[in-house]
Structure 1
Amino acid sequence: MTSILHPTETKFEDKWDRGDMKPITLRLLHQQSVSKQEWQNLFWDVHHVCSWDDRGSAKLYEALRELILSFISGCQLRVLGHQDDAALLRAYINEWVKFFAQCQYLPKPYMNLGQNYKSSGSSTTQLGSTQEKSKDGMLVEKLMLDSWNESIFSSIKGRLQDSAMKLIHSERSGEAFDIQLVIGVRESYVNLSSDADDHLKIYRDNFENAYLTSTRTFYKGQASQHLADNGVRNYMNYAAEKLKEEDQRAMRYLEMSKGSDSLKMLHHCTVEVLLTDFKDQILAECPMMITRNETDKLYQMYCLMNEVESGIDPMRESLEFHITQDGLADMEACADTITTDPEKYVEKLLELFTRYSKLVKSAFHDDHRFLTSRDKAYKTVVNDTHVFRLELPTKQKTASKTQPESRCPELLANYCDLLLRKSGASRKLTSDEIESRLRDVLLILKYVQNKDVFMRYHKSHLTRRLILDTSTDSEKEENMVEWLREVGMPADYVNKLARMFQDMKVSGDLNQEFQEKLKEQSNSVADIVTLKVLNAGAWSRGSERTVVSLPMELEDFIPDVEEFYRQKHNGRKLQWHHHMSNGVITFVGSVGKFDLEVTTFQMAVLFAWNQRPHDKLSLEDLRLSTELPEGELKRTLWSLVAFPKLKHQLLLCEPTPKSPRDFLDHSLFRINHDFVIIRNGKVQKRGKFNFIGRLQLSTETSRQEENEGIVALRVLRVQEAIVKIMKMRKKLTNAALQTELVEMLKNMFLPQKKMIKEQIEWLIEHKYMKREDDDLNTFVYLA
């Protein structure tokens, strides 16, 4: 029978089998030399065949496919001939490297095939995404990679993976091997994929998955045994070392190109098997490490647990518990000293803050989460009421109805007073040191819950310093006010302090005018009297004014002041606050002559002996002479009978008292004419002494008023804040209202739940708001 061939088939066989196309292509596959002319001829022949029609391209594609498969079959025989794992890997990598190199060159002459070949029928199913690839002229490259994958890779990939994982296992066990074997296997997995959408699919599904599995298997039993044999502290060293090793190993053996998250997955795997599975055992050591201040180990634990989900939270809780317990224990241990000495108290708080800050920095690298825990615990220490307790009255003015608060804000205000007024403490310090310590106070103040108490006491001390002119530096006084503004103190508080300085300047001008008027009248008191007229709105002293019988010179002086002020400011009323006044009197005794700085109350008591210096006066005599209330009279007498800085007291009492409560109606008082001032062990015949102490601005009634004023102002603040919130929200639940209220007032004080409830009821009663008819826990604002 005569065979009849199609013209295209005849032409193709002439070109492929009997021509140069097949031999040149085969030499390229075997990496044999090809001349420049042959290389160019191959381009022309491919172009010529592809230009015939679709059947020419199909014939060329099939012939090239058979040639490639035949070549790969030879490679497969050479690779499978090795039984040893290392030899198998070397043979495979050697064949793959040569084949993959030709994947870059062979497709070039066949570019026209990729551009013209159209699959049809069964070829479409077989080639998959060939049509998509052909648009980029990558048909032949895909054909080569897919053929390698189907022929050799799919049949031995299991052995390749196992061999590579065994080598990595050997490396983890300390044995040496040629790392290029594993790297070569990895590269073949990466480069084999011809999927344009996911070029790492083969690598991810095979090599990466096998690597993660082998890692987990290797450490699963080893880590548990190491922890049991060596304990947590040594295990942390082991885990840290292995994590570092595995990250470095992953950099060598896993794919790091864009689109690969192998390193992240491997790190997560090692963290899980080395740390997460033993998290509880590791964290159990944290409290003891914190107690012993083992910062190096804590930092190592922090670094490890930071890799574990929720691993940091138990460490933060341990730190917070330690700071709270340790801080309170420290404060209680030296309570006797620090409750009476503001300087020691502030030093102790600063020492605790420095200690815990250093711990957080060294052990936890100033992680903001641990800084938050430090702040929370330190705030608990600062506001603790077990050691430092301030009783604020409630509406029911009974001894049992009080709400305890920390005395911290009061002690901080007292310490500021020590630094800002002329005192023994401030004289020992330079200007920069005073400023530094004031900054320290402001640091602690940030942790104080009830800042309104600090502002009350600070304002009271500032009032004393301004009236007595005892400030060390007026510029620092004004700077302190601005610093309070910077740390978030409420603006209305700070503005009132600023107005006090303005008031003093206005009062100074007024005093100068008054003295000039007295000089014009040739008044003898012009040079010895200083007038301070202060605005009640800025200074807001208590309404209580203590009655006292003034010396005649002062009593006669008062009408002149009132007349002068009436002429300057018609319609304004002057109120005399004698407990805020002071003066200097001269005492002449048997030893010498001394100038004594005294309060007006002390002056009134001492003037009782002016006409009878050697008499003994009873408590009743002094009460009639001074007209002071009994409580104030006893306090004033005590300051003259038992002044702590004097070895020889100004007044003597019979019988000798131990406290002001020991003053009875039959107690007798007399002037000590042997009164003398002793400095550096030497008797002084001349000198000046300050008896004012802390009495001039506070009476028993005014102190009670101060505390009641704090509570009264809090009530108004709560009412104001509730109305402001409801006006903005219109409708709000009880829980949401309380949350917003606390957030709004936290810079001044933390309102008690009882106070909030009482003020809500008060506002409802006075028609500022009402409860929702169908929901009693929802409030509605009434315009």
Structure 2
Amino acid sequence: MYNIRYTCAGHVKNFMMAAMLKDRGQFPFEDKWPAMRPIILKLLKQETVTQGEWQDLFYAVHLVCMWDEIGAPKLRDALKQDIMNFIQQAQQRVLQHHEEQALLKSYIAEWRKFFTQCNYLPTPFRQLESSLAGKTNINAQKRNQSDESIIRKLMLDSWNQSIFNDIKKRLQDSAMRLVRAERNGEAFDSQLVIGVRESYVNLCSNPADKLQIYRENFEAAYIEATEEFYWIKAPEYLQLHGVEDYMKYADIKLREEELRAKKYLEPNSTSVQLLIDCCVKVLVATFKVPILAECSRMINSHQTEKLRLMLKLMDRISDGVGPMLIDLEKHISSAGLADMMAAIDVITQDSEKYVERLLDLFRQFSTLVKQAFDDDPRFLTARDKAYKLVVNDATVFRLELPSRQGSGGPTTTIGNTKTTVPTSTLAPTPNSNNNTNTNGQPESKCPELLANYCDMLLRKTPLSKKLTSDEIESKLRDVLLVLKYVQNKDVFMRYHKAHLTRRLILDTSADSEKEENMVEWLREVGMPADYVNKLARMFQDIKVSQDLNQQFKEQCRETIADSINIKILNAGAWARGSERVTVSLPLQLEDYIPEVEEFYKKKHSGRKLQWYHHMSNGTITFTNQVGRFDVDVTTFQMAVLFAWNQRPFEKISYENLRLATELPDPELRRTLWSLCAFPKLRKQLILVEPPANSPKDFAHDTRCWVNQDFAIVKNGKTQKRGRLNLIGRLQLSTERSKEEDNQCIVQLRILRVQEAIIKILKMRKKINNAQLQTELVDILKNMFLPSKKMIKEQIEWLIEHKYIRRHDDDINTFVYMA
């Protein structure tokens, strides 16, 4: 006898009676089933079940499972039979309908009723499930919290086997036809398709993959139907309306299908993405070639909205954007070069026009990328790549660098007549005694022209005077923007430094603050530190020189205090060339030199000053019968003019001028030409006979004299007083060293390559040729791009001079030699 309290107090007496009567073999399954079956059928049909009936069902199931050894299997079989009977009746009701929508509505209604009971009917049969599983009540409770209910699985499997397998093809086909009708613009109740999908999703009783039936049937059918629909519609639309309209059609349909998929397909699965991938394949990938064929034309005609749409479509497929990038690069490079060639007559004469043209092109291309491709990083990279070709193209402007390096290293000191400079010698290049072939390819003159444009903005010129400070800063920033695309930045820095030297020596800077800011901006855009540091040192030298100049004036004779201005500069920062030009200075200047040198020796012992007269300048007063004029001249011009200082009306031959000035013939010709053919003067300072058309026309017996009728003419009126500048662009190198400037660029590049190779090998100790070239370009890219030929030659030079060696086992691997 068991004394057990059941949860329902009203049944304690019956439960205890059952325990006492068990031995007499009463309450078998056959006795209890007739009372249980009506309640089960009510539950299946969703009819009302009273609380008493519900509790009696619990109690009966418990008695059968506990006191009848074979009661649990009998109960399961009977329950299955009733479930199957109910499902067959539901199937008959569904199949009575032959019209598609009526069939779907009936099926969905029957299914939803049945599925609702799948959640309720298993509840009274937990004891049955425990008995079938051979577990205790406590274990059964734990199991029911986590595992799939046996009765629920029985119900779903029965529905699947009895009705679903028989009519699922009809259900799928009907649902797909409704979706097709919606694609064609017809209206219907979308819940019909959703209901069918829900039955597919909920029918699967496999706990490992609950969406198996849905995926293998409904999802597959939906994607297949979608693909079939657009295989027919898409080619027809393209043929009738053309590519441009088809792109709009494809985009609209992709968006429609994505929304439709989110409505009809299972949201918590990969179904939506699979459907989108299918649509992209049919609507876009299939027609990739004809769509991309229009890209070049659209770019050329700036059809930005259509390009945005094309990018949106092509970005959905593999390698769809690649051809668009190529088309953009071709457009930018060809359009940019064509624009430059069209304006060649203007831009070759004016660096301002050239730079403005480049900036206009950059703005045009940037606007195109922004409007058409929304500044997509891939298209910005393509723009930069193509624009770099335009900037570095040598078709319009060409800088010819020498193909062979001259002998001798770049040992350089610098100074000028008004500028005294301590001797400083640069280390010679390691290959100063051999002739090495360099790249020899023409380079773009763009970096030189950019430097010229910066000079126009920073110097006192009509351009800088008409611009505000903010406008000048904006234009300088624009130059730095273009400079970013210049390959050979070392050329820019060389010319920029030359212009800066002129401005600082001649005191012609429009804004000293802007000058120093420019140095910092160059540092910010990644210009090599040693270049920028030298520029910063130049400003420091000027400030120090101003203090020295003031001290010199305080100590020297009062008569010269206001007539001389010296600049003592460091050759390490200012050096440009070793060439010095002989000249016979006027006595008025010659007398100052010993005093300046003596003053400097007292300040700094052990330093030697070298005077560079071709970088010096001064102001002389010219008086004739017309009036009195102050003329700014170079030292060479001053030496020539002072030849007439004691004999103003005499005609002097060219040969006598050469003897008097001691200037080399090329310098004398250039200087004399600047005095007798200055382009801005109506009346020249010096007259020659016979007349000359160029400096080459001067002969030994050519006679020269001072124009006593010389005057400054403004607005057609002769002025009796005025100031005239004959210096023009301060000459920083002689005529002969113009070629040496380019040679020096090559020499410096060779030195940089050698330095970089040694630096890499010092760090790596051993490196192969391919990796060496990669790292070398990475180090030097902010200055210039070394050619493979130059790299190879410098490697051979370093091997020959025992800096590096080839590996014993691999000739393409190099080893550092300490």
Measured against the shorter chain, the TM-score band is over 0.9
Once the two structures are superposed, residues 541-571 of structure 1 have per-residue CA deviations (whole angstroms, 9 ceiling, x without a partner) of 2111111111111101101111111111110
* Corresponding position: 1:375 with 2:384: yes
Change in 2 beyond 3 A, CA 1:105/1:653: farther
* Corresponding position: 1:268 with 2:268: no
* Corresponding position: 1:588 with 2:597: no
Once the two structures are superposed, residues 625-645 of structure 1 have per-residue CA deviations (whole angstroms, 9 ceiling, x without a partner) of 211111111222222222222
* Corresponding position: 1:67 with 2:76: no
Match of 1:127 in 2: none
Decide which of 535, 559, 564 is 1:524's aligned counterpart. Answer: 559
* Corresponding position: 1:341 with 2:350: yes
Once the two structures are superposed, residues 645-686 of structure 1 have per-residue CA deviations (whole angstroms, 9 ceiling, x without a partner) of 222222223333333223332333222232222334443332
* Corresponding position: 1:677 with 2:703: no
Greater relative contact order (Cα < 8 A, sep 6+): 2
Q: Distance in 1 between matches of 2:363 and 2:731?
A: 37
Q: Which amino acid aligns with 1:528?
A: S
Decide which of 570, 573, 576 is 2:611's aligned counterpart. Answer: 576
CA contact (8 A) 2:631 2:725 kept: yes
Q: CA deviation at 1:396?
A: 4.7
* Corresponding position: 1:232 with 2:267: no
Once the two structures are superposed, residues 53-94 of structure 1 have per-residue CA deviations (whole angstroms, 9 ceiling, x without a partner) of 774443333332222222111111111222222221111111
* Corresponding position: 1:358 with 2:396: no
Match of 2:115 in 1: 100
Change in 2 beyond 3 A, CA 1:165/1:668: same
CA contact (8 A) 2:626 2:711 kept: yes
Q: Which amino acid aligns with 2:204?
A: S
Once the two structures are superposed, residues 526-546 of structure 1 have per-residue CA deviations (whole angstroms, 9 ceiling, x without a partner) of 112111000111112211111
Once the two structures are superposed, residues 112-160 of structure 1 have per-residue CA deviations (whole angstroms, 9 ceiling, x without a partner) of 444443179xxxxxxxxxx988853622222222221111111111111
- SS at 2:805's partner residue? strand
Q: Which amino acid aligns with 1:223?
A: A
CA contact (8 A) 1:452 1:748 kept: yes
Once the two structures are superposed, residues 321-358 of structure 1 have per-residue CA deviations (whole angstroms, 9 ceiling, x without a partner) of 11111111111111222123111111000000000011
Match of 1:656 in 2: 691
* Corresponding position: 1:729 with 2:764: yes
CA contact (8 A) 1:115 1:137 kept: no
Once the two structures are superposed, residues 178-219 of structure 1 have per-residue CA deviations (whole angstroms, 9 ceiling, x without a partner) of 211111111111121222222211111111111111111111
Superposed, 1:82-121 pairs within 5 Å as 82-118=97-133
CA contact (8 A) 2:405 2:747 kept: no
CA contact (8 A) 1:722 1:737 kept: yes
Match of 1:324 in 2: 333
* Corresponding position: 1:739 with 2:756: no
Q: CA deviation at 1:721?
A: 1.0
Q: Which amino acid aligns with 1:13?
A: E
Q: Distance in 2 between matches of 1:198 and 1:678?
A: 100
Q: Distance in 1 between matches of 2:375 and 2:96?
A: 61
- Which has the higher mean CA deviation after the structures are superposed, 36-45 or 352-361? 36-45
Identity value in percent:
64
- Which has the higher mean CA deviation after the structures are superposed, 544-553 or 427-436? 544-553
Match of 2:580 in 1: 545
- SS at 1:670's partner residue? strand
Change in 2 beyond 3 A, CA 1:78/1:188: same
Q: Distance in 1 between matches of 2:68 and 2:469?
A: 99
- Over the residues paired in the alignment, what is the CA RMSD in angstroms? 2.2
* Corresponding position: 1:200 with 2:211: yes
Q: Distance in 1 between matches of 2:24 and 2:725?
A: 130
Change in 2 beyond 3 A, CA 1:8/1:705: farther
- SS at 1:747's partner residue? coil
Q: Distance in 2 between matches of 1:511 and 1:439?
A: 35
* Corresponding position: 1:431 with 2:469: yes
Q: Distance in 2 between matches of 1:6 and 1:313?
A: 86
* Corresponding position: 1:284 with 2:287: no
- Which has the higher mean CA deviation after the structures are superposed, 460-469 or 386-395? 386-395
* Corresponding position: 1:478 with 2:479: no
Q: Distance in 1 between matches of 2:60 and 2:630?
A: 125
Decide which of 693, 697, 701 is 2:736's aligned counterpart. Answer: 701
* Corresponding position: 1:174 with 2:200: no
Match of 1:128 in 2: none
Q: CA deviation at 1:261?
A: 1.1
Q: Distance in 1 between matches of 2:588 and 2:145?
A: 116
Once the two structures are superposed, residues 420-455 of structure 1 have per-residue CA deviations (whole angstroms, 9 ceiling, x without a partner) of 111111001000000000000000000000001111
Change in 2 beyond 3 A, CA 1:430/1:22: same
After TM superposition, the score normalised by the length of structure 2 is 0.90
CA contact (8 A) 2:29 2:68 kept: no
* Corresponding position: 1:139 with 2:177: no
Decide which of 500, 503, 519 is 1:462's aligned counterpart. Answer: 500
Once the two structures are superposed, residues 263-283 of structure 1 have per-residue CA deviations (whole angstroms, 9 ceiling, x without a partner) of 111111111111111111111
Q: Distance in 2 between matches of 1:112 and 1:748?
A: 86
Decide which of 695, 703, 713 is 1:668's aligned counterpart. Answer: 703
* Corresponding position: 1:501 with 2:539: yes
* Corresponding position: 1:16 with 2:33: yes
Match of 1:246 in 2: 257
CA contact (8 A) 1:24 1:34 kept: yes
- Which has the higher mean CA deviation after the structures are superposed, 523-532 or 697-706? 697-706
Q: Distance in 2 between matches of 1:393 and 1:648?
A: 40
* Corresponding position: 1:256 with 2:267: yes
- SS at 2:811's partner residue? strand
Once the two structures are superposed, residues 457-511 of structure 1 have per-residue CA deviations (whole angstroms, 9 ceiling, x without a partner) of 1111111111111111111111111111110111111111111111111111111
CA contact (8 A) 1:145 1:192 kept: yes
Match of 2:92 in 1: 77
CA contact (8 A) 2:405 2:746 kept: no
Match of 1:124 in 2: none
Decide which of 40, 44, 48 is 2:55's aligned counterpart. Answer: 40
CA contact (8 A) 1:409 1:454 kept: yes
Match of 2:314 in 1: 305
Change in 2 beyond 3 A, CA 1:190/1:401: closer
Match of 1:126 in 2: none
* Corresponding position: 1:210 with 2:221: yes
Q: CA deviation at 1:758?
A: 0.6
- SS at 2:736's partner residue? helix
Change in 2 beyond 3 A, CA 1:104/1:654: farther
Q: Distance in 2 between matches of 1:641 and 1:281?
A: 69
Aligned length: 762
Q: Distance in 1 between matches of 2:232 and 2:580?
A: 83
CA contact (8 A) 1:133 1:139 kept: no
Q: Which amino acid aligns with 1:175?
A: E
- SS at 1:700's partner residue? coil
- Which has the higher mean CA deviation after the structures are superposed, 228-237 or 34-43? 34-43
After TM superposition, the score normalised by the length of structure 1 is 0.93
- Which has the higher mean CA deviation after the structures are superposed, 36-45 or 193-202? 36-45
Q: Distance in 1 between matches of 2:749 and 2:23?
A: 106
CA contact (8 A) 2:401 2:742 kept: yes
Q: Distance in 2 between matches of 1:25 and 1:220?
A: 51
- SS at 1:696's partner residue? coil
